[in-house]
Structure 1
Amino acid sequence: MADPDATIGLSRLAKKLTREDEVFTYMARNLEPVRGFHHFMRALPKILAARPNARALIIGGNEASYGKKSDIQGGYRAQMEEEVGKDLDWSRVHFLGRVPYADYRTIIQLSRCHIYLTVPFVLSWSLLESMSMQAPIVASGTAPVREVIKDGKTGLLADLLNPDEIAEKAIQLLSDYKLGEKHSKAARAQVVKSYDFEKVCLPQHLRQINALVPKAKAITLPKAK
């Protein structure tokens, strides 16, 4: 769940960020098109212009995990900085690179709007974690995202290929704290119900495994002490 006392310090800022600050986030293992990084960057100027107190915290490496590497030195980050940099208030944009897991969790718990984008591909574990930590979410309306984000209930969905729509949905959440809180509580409830490791996922995995082997060799869970 979200930690109401979560704080994070950034070298450029005199004071630590808290849940009182208007923080929005983007996270991927690497900043690349498969995870919609270029669409996020194209949405960024509009979000910052509409929300003058908002700060973008961007987590991710500068390589490529799934798709083609950028032909530009500096990777897709440099490519997108060149495209949209003149329209950004760089004092409110923070590229954090890859961060320790504990810091990642703190940052997500500070987020008033976590933006998750992907082409139709394997779902990132970070989306389920963000939902479990009650971060209000704007996500791409792509498969398999639609399996876990129900538009207007557990988050807001936007057209992956439409940066203006991504920006508008992010602005909507940043502008309406109560809406974000409503969505985030519903998102956590859904994750706990459908994806809890010990109560849901592990038993289901074992059922699938045991269906393939003789009953005498079936795997069972240890009894709770």
Structure 2
Amino acid sequence: MRFLFVHQNFPGQFRHVAQALAEDPRHEVVGIGDVRTVKPGRAMHPRLQVVAYPSPRGGGQQTHPYLRNFEGQVRRGQKLFRAAMQLKATGFVPDVVVVHPGWGEALFLRELFPAARHIHYCEYFYRADGGDVGFDPEFPVTVDGRAGVHVKNSAQLLGLTQCDAGISPTLWQRSRYPAEYQPRIRVLHEGIDTARARPDAQAVLAVGGRRFRAGDEIVTFVARNLEPYRGFHGFMRALPGLQALRPAAQILIVGGDEVSYGRRLPAGESYRQKYRAEIADRIDASRIHFLGKLPYDDYLKVLQVSAAHVYLTYPFVLSWSMLEAMACGCLVVASATAPVQEMIVDGENGLLTDFFDADMLARKVAGALADPQAHAPIRARARAFVVQNHDLRTHCLPAWVDFLTQGEDTTDGRS
């Protein structure tokens, strides 16, 4: 079979399945992405061809504000379509097209490959209520903002009318989509490599001239970027109380200063600077370590040395890092928000806290640090949950490959 994977940041969520299919000599696999993030021909696998399309410009300033995002999606869909036309001219016609529709890349592919089976990665459907929009009173949404949310789904809605099936990583993320389309969306996570993300009682993390070891009193926080969507403001506001309760605790914070989601600050400012300044006179800064973005193996060491790992999120897309932390045997203290509650049962395989209650978060983390032995069974059950339900090799990857190669799905929509 021939497979085409499309993602503006290829491979995105398709890394493992694209590689697995490329390993099978019966298949031919091609990936396409934006040239800014994709290096054509990079060696993900010797049998996986990667091509790039030119980066499109976004919507114009004269375009209606509600439509600027959609205009950018249409332009991206055009660029992708032309690159796919060139690919088709070489003789490559896919049997299966797998695409993330969120940036507009799926808009015109059905026209080019009408006989293919089109599968969309249904990551998140925006709504004005019940999710990220308006969740945080610190960042209120305007009437214009609520109205614009509906237009934000335009590319996905057009895609849903054309795709044969969809995949969502969690039940809650699927539930955000219109009810009439949900039966066609399979719930299937991309998977966690639990052979790599695993506990290591001998783990040592070197940071500058310091060495942090598993068993030390270490609190960890990880996000791609340090921003409110991932609860960075709440975590920082919990640090004065946490340090008062556990003055010897070391705090390791991983993440960049860009904004992946939500509202951007003025040029030159970052949320790290903003919230650090807010608590500067109430903390021992020498015990708080900002590590920036790390190579994957160093990031795993952060999780392996963690005595308590904090994961906070708006009701939004679930981060891989939370499940990787659980796979590493972390004691995860997480916000009681969707879809976290789909994975963590309070007191069973993690601890849940109110997203907005910094004092509660401080107390929960301090309690975990005070009696690590009492919480050891929770850590063990956290890893067992991920191994049983989200392991890459034994569960998720075989299910992905089977779904993509066996034609129409006949399940009830669950993984």
* TM beyond 0.5: yes
| Cα separation, 2, equivalents of 1:74 and 1:113 | 29
- Secondary structure at the residue paired with 1:153? coil
Whether the aligned pair in 1 keeps the contact of 2:255 and 2:291 (CA below 8 Å) is: yes
Letter in 2 for 1:170: V
SS of structure 2 residue aligned to 1:80: helix
Residues paired across the two proteins, number: 213
**In the alignment, structure 1 residue 132 sits paired with structure 2 residue 132:** no
Q: Is the 8 A contact 2:308 2:368 kept in 1?
A: yes
Name the counterpart of 2:204.
7
1:109 has 2:304 as partner:
yes
* Residue 174 (str. 1) matches residue 369 (str. 2): yes
Secondary structure at 1:17 match in 2: strand
Which of 357, 370, 375 is equivalent to 1:162?
A: 357
Q: Which amino acid aligns with 1:10?
A: V
CA distance in structure 1 between the partners assigned to 2:278 and 2:268 by the alignment: 14
- Counterpart amino acid of 2:204? T
CA distance in 2, matches of 1:211, 1:131: 32
Q: Mapping of 1:71-86 within 5 angstroms?
A: 71=266, 73-86=268-281
- What code does the residue aligned with 2:334 have? A
Deviation per residue, 1:172-216 (Å, 9 max, x gap): 1111111331111000000010001122112332444356449xx
Find the counterpart in structure 2 of residue 69 from structure 1: 264
Q: TM-score, normalised by structure 1?
A: 0.89
* Runs of 4+ off more than 6 Å: none
The amino acid of 1:173's aligned partner reads: A
Deviation at 1:69, TM superposition (A): 1.4
C-alpha distance in 2 between matches for 1:149 and 1:72: 37
Pairing partner for 2:222 from 27, 46, 49: 27
Q: CA deviation at 1:4?
A: 1.3
- Structure number with higher helix proportion: 1
Displacement after TM superposition at 1:133 (Å): 0.5
Displacement of 1:59:
0.2
Q: How far, CA to CA, are the matches of 1:83 and 1:20 in structure 2?
A: 31
In 1, Cα distance between equivalents of 2:374 and 2:256: 31
Deviation per CA, 1:108-136, whole angstroms, max 9, x where unpaired? Answer: 10000000000001100011111001011
**Partner deviation per Cα, 1:152-184 (whole Å, 9 max, x = no partner):** 010100010111111111111111111331111
> 1:217: which partner in 2?
none
Residue in structure 2 matched with residue 220 of structure 1 by the alignment: none
TM-score, reference length from structure 2: 0.49
Where structure 1 has 5 or more consecutive residues not aligned to the other structure, the ranges are 215-225
Note the residue ranges of structure 2 that are not aligned, 5 or more in a row. Answer: 1-197, 410-415
In the other structure, the counterpart of 1:221 is none
Q: Is the 8 A contact 1:136 1:184 kept in 2?
A: yes
**Aligned-pair Cα RMSD in Å:** 1.8
Tell me if the contact between 2:215 and 2:307 (Cα under 8 Å) persists in the aligned partners. no
In 1, Cα distance between equivalents of 2:233 and 2:266: 14
| Residue 196 (structure 1) aligned with residue 391 (structure 2) | yes
- Which letter does structure 1 place at the counterpart of 2:369? L
Kindly indicate whether the alpha-carbon contact (under 8 Å) linking 1:25 and 1:113 is maintained by their aligned counterparts in 2. yes
The answer to which structure, 1 or 2, has the higher relative contact order (CA under 8 A, 6+ apart) is: 1
**1:29-66 Cα deviation digits (max 9, x unpaired):** 00000000000000011111111110000000001011
| Matching of residue 54 in structure 1 with residue 249 in structure 2 | yes
2:396 aligned counterpart, secondary structure: helix
Is 1:45 the counterpart of 2:240? The answer is yes
Percent identity of equivalent pairs: 43
Between 1:89-98 and 1:197-206, the stretch displaced more is 197-206
Q: Which amino acid aligns with 2:277?
A: E
